[in-house]
Amino acid sequence: GFSALKAEPVIFDSTLVGTSIDAIVNRLEYLGFYDSHAEAETQYTGKQARVTYKVTPGKQYPMKDISYQIADKVMDSIWARNRGKTLVKQGDRLAESVLEQESQRLASVFRDNGYYGFSKNYFLFFADTTATPDSSLLTVELRDYTRKESPSAARPHTQYSIGNVSLVPQGRLKVKSRFLQYLNLIEPNTPYSETVINN
């Protein structure tokens, strides 16, 4: 059978209103609405409180120009082959949410081209909203240290390839080696690829 559960009444905590305002403004800025504003109005009726949020989305900055700085020539060529699938496009609004998705996409591209363990945190984004009116200039830089590290932690990115591939059944599993070879997608002397390994 099905039984509906009634929600317990929520006790109003006025200190959470300010926290909610901060969360709304932060979310809007993450989505590309800069200098957003939110305020709350609380009305009390008997023992009940009603909170109304008035939100004013901030300014958007379309990306007038996007430049990439990738010093490593091999990595630059990998990026160039995959630039058609970019999520960061000229004319679109600058938004941290899209930059985060793009850094994840590019990290996956590099992990599929031999860069085992490559992290999205090697990408840094610099946006200038003062050089051109009502728009932004974006620079995407691939560094050899992560966002959380200092330049002294820099180390070259290493491209790995697959060496020998051995398929060894575990435990008492009885499987013909020819069948395992048929299922295997990992080829010796090819670049490490996270997607191939996972598949």
pLDDT, one tens digit per residue, over 33-56 is: 999 999 999 999 988 889 999 999
**Tokens linked to 84:** 């058609």
Strand extents, DSSP E, the chain: 37-45, 48-56, 63-70, 123-128, 136-142
Rounded to a whole number of angstroms, the CA Rg of the chain reads 25
pLDDT in the model for residue 120: 96
Eight-state DSSP code of residue 9: P
- pLDDT-based confidence at residue 75 (cuts at 50, 70, 90): very high
Phi (first) and psi of residue 6, to 5 degrees = -85, 135
On the question of pLDDT at 12 being above 90, the answer is no
Average pLDDT over residues 8-31: 90
On the question of pLDDT at 8 being above 80, the answer is no
Phi (first) and psi of residue 38, to 5 degrees = -145, 145
pLDDT, one tens digit per residue, over 128-168 is: 999 998 999 999 999 999 999 999 999 999 999 999 988 87
Instruction: Tell me the whole-structure pTM to 2 decimals.
Output: 0.81
- pLDDT-based confidence at residue 175 (cuts at 50, 70, 90): confident
Tell me what the pLDDT averaged over the chain comes to: 91
Task: State the first-to-last Cα distance of the chain, in angstroms, to the nearest integer.
Answer: 42
